């Protein structure tokens, strides 16, 4: 018996932030959209601290009202700690125009809100449908899928968007992966009932807290408060560092958190009620972000590092760029996907990369903890921390490597 074949205009693999926002934007163009998602939502994910730039894309996708009304933790900035040194950035005091506030979200809930909005807008969303194979050699992409009931069927689409995140469906199946250039790092993380007293002087629930390990400048912790008295807690380090610690993931995370006095004091009353998890080797890259009738969105294409919470913003930016290219393509225009998608997306990713590299080398830490910062430069840096990595009017975007190097020298003097 021949396998059943369906057709659609746009097939999206993955119902996470990139896939759902792309679906919302494409539905506004009147496109027929089918999303295939391997998991059943809600499901756990990290990447919980959004950046203000991401709000622009949520709004453009027609999903802002649903996100605002979901009751997530308001976020207006980022706080950094290293021993006795403290600094914080208020994203409303930035160089770039645009949103200055956003949310800190449990991704299980946030991603479901976006996927539900995509469905409300007319996209077909199928959960627990797994992509088994992809053929992009023909006139149109054809994907082989297995349903929850075990049926195998095909979907033929005019265009294919891979928003599969860390599953990286197309990079794996089409052998597009290439080295990331970053050392192998890992993260151990959990959610805790933090029991931090309301109004605590050392913990502003409106900001993510990033803490540098007291002895290792390339090891850092995240503490992301949620609106329900809980927070996401994790540590990021090279895998060689993490492998020194034995026991369960929870025991290992507790031991590493125990090495920072400030976090120990902050979380002294915390209830560790959720088993910790670990991911390793998450940094990823690809040879190309697009190909014949397909494009890679968000983490499916490239993931740098969680330190500046850039992942969801990059995912949304990729959805926005790809949707704009598809609008032109469906209107009969010839689209140069490298010039109009690959190159502009990588420009912002490369800005983030420059700052991530400077963070782990220690130079960026010298900059942010400097006792007498220039207010103008601080606003420019604040813009990038708020996600505005594509704003070429910002000198620290337009000339990121040179500017950062000069600034680091000044702060080291």
pLDDT in tens, 138-178: 999 999 999 999 999 999 999 999 999 888 899 888 888 87
On whether the CB atoms of residues 143 and 134 are closer than 8 A, the answer is: yes
CA dist., res. 13 & res. 170, Å (int): 9
pLDDT score at 71: 95
Q: What is the pTM of this model?
A: 0.96
Mean pLDDT of the chain: 94
On whether the CB atoms of residues 355 and 63 are closer than 8 A, the answer is: no
Instruction: List C-alpha distances in Å: 193 to 49, 71, 206, 378.
Output: 17, 18, 17, 33
> Using one digit for the tens of pLDDT, what is the confidence trace for 58-69?
999 999 999 999
CA dist., res. 202 & res. 227, Å (int): 17
Indicate whether 280 pLDDT > 70: yes
What is the average pLDDT across 244-253? 96
Cross-strand partners of 221: 211, 235
Indicate whether 346 pLDDT > 70: yes
* pLDDT band of 1, cuts 50, 70, 90: low
- Per the structure block, which two tokens stand in for 42? 């809600």
Residue 162, SS3 per DSSP: strand
Indicate whether 285 pLDDT > 90: no
Domains and CATH numbers, the chain: 5-73+96-179+283-348 (3.50.50.60), 185-280 (3.30.9.100), 362-412 (no CATH)
* pLDDT band of 369, cuts 50, 70, 90: very high
> Using one digit for the tens of pLDDT, what is the confidence trace for 219-234?
999 999 999 899 999 9
CA dist., res. 406 & res. 95, Å (int): 19
* pLDDT band of 200, cuts 50, 70, 90: confident
Indicate whether 182 pLDDT > 80: no
Look-up of token digits 């265009």: 159
pLDDT score at 184: 81
pLDDT score at 307: 83
Q: Are strands 152-162 and 5-13 parallel, antiparallel or unpaired?
A: parallel
pLDDT score at 49: 95
Look-up of token digits 């680091």: 408
pLDDT score at 167: 87
- Per the structure block, which two tokens stand in for 253? 């995370």
Indicate whether 283 pLDDT > 80: no
* pLDDT band of 341, cuts 50, 70, 90: very high
pLDDT score at 305: 81
What is the percentage of the chain residues whose pLDDT exceeds 70? 99
> Using one digit for the tens of pLDDT, what is the confidence trace for 49-102?
999 999 999 999 999 999 999 999 999 999 999 999 999 999 999 999 999 999
What is the average pLDDT across 196-213? 89
What is the average pLDDT across 338-367? 94
Q: Measured in whole angstroms, how far is the alpha carbon of residue 132 from the centre of its chain? A: 25
């Amino acid at each position: 018996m021949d396998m059943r074949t369906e057709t659609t205009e746009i097939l999206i693999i993955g119902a996470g932030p990139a896939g759902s926002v792309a679906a919302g934007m494409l539905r506004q163009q009147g496109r027929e959209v089918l999303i295939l998602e391997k998991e059943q939502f809600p499901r756990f994910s990290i990447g919980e601290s959004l950046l203000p730039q991401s709000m622009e894309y949520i709004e453009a996708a027609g999903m802002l009202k649903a996100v605002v009304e979901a009751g997530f933790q308001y976020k207006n900035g980022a706080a950094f700690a290293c021993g006795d040194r403290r600094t914080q950035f208020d994203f409303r005091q930035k160089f770039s125009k645009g949103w200055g506030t956003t949310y800190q979200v449990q991704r299980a809930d946030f991603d479901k809100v976006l996927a539900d909005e995509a469905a409300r807008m007319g996209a077909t969303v199928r959960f627990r449908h797994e992509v088994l194979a992809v053929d992009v050699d023909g006139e149109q992409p054809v994907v082989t899928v297995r349903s929850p009931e075990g049926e195998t069927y095909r979907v033929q689409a005019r265009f294919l968007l891979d928003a599969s995140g860390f599953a990286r469906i197309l990079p794996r199946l089409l052998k597009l992966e290439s080295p990331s250039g970053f050392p192998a790092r890992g993260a151990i993380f959990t959610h805790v009932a933090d029991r931090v007293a309301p109004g605590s002087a050392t913990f502003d629930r409106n900001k993510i807290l990033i803490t540098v390990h007291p002895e290792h400048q390339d090891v850092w912790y995240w503490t992301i408060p949620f609106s329900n008295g809980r927070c996401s807690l994790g540590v990021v380090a090279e895998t060689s560092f993490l492998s020194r610690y034995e026991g369960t993931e929870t025991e290992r995370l507790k031991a590493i958190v125990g090495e920072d006095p400030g976090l120990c004091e902050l979380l002294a009353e915390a209830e560790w009620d959720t088993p910790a998890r670990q991911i390793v080797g998450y940094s990823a890259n690809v040879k190309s972000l697009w190909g014949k009738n397909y494009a890679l969105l968000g983490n499916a294409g490239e993931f740098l590092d969680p330190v500046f919470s850039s992942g969801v913003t990059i995912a949304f930016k990729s959805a926005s760029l790809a949707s704009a290219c598809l609008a032109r393509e469906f209107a009969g225009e010839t689209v140069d996907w490298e010039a109009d998608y690959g190159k502009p997306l990588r420009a912002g990713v490369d800005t983030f990369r420059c700052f991530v590299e400077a963070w782990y080398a220690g130079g960026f830490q010298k900059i942010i903890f400097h006792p007498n910062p220039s207010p103008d430069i601080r606003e420019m840096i604040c813009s990038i921390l708020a996600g505005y990595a594509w704003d070429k009017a910002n000198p620290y975007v337009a000339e990121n490597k040179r500017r950062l190097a000069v600034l680091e020298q000044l702060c080291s003097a």
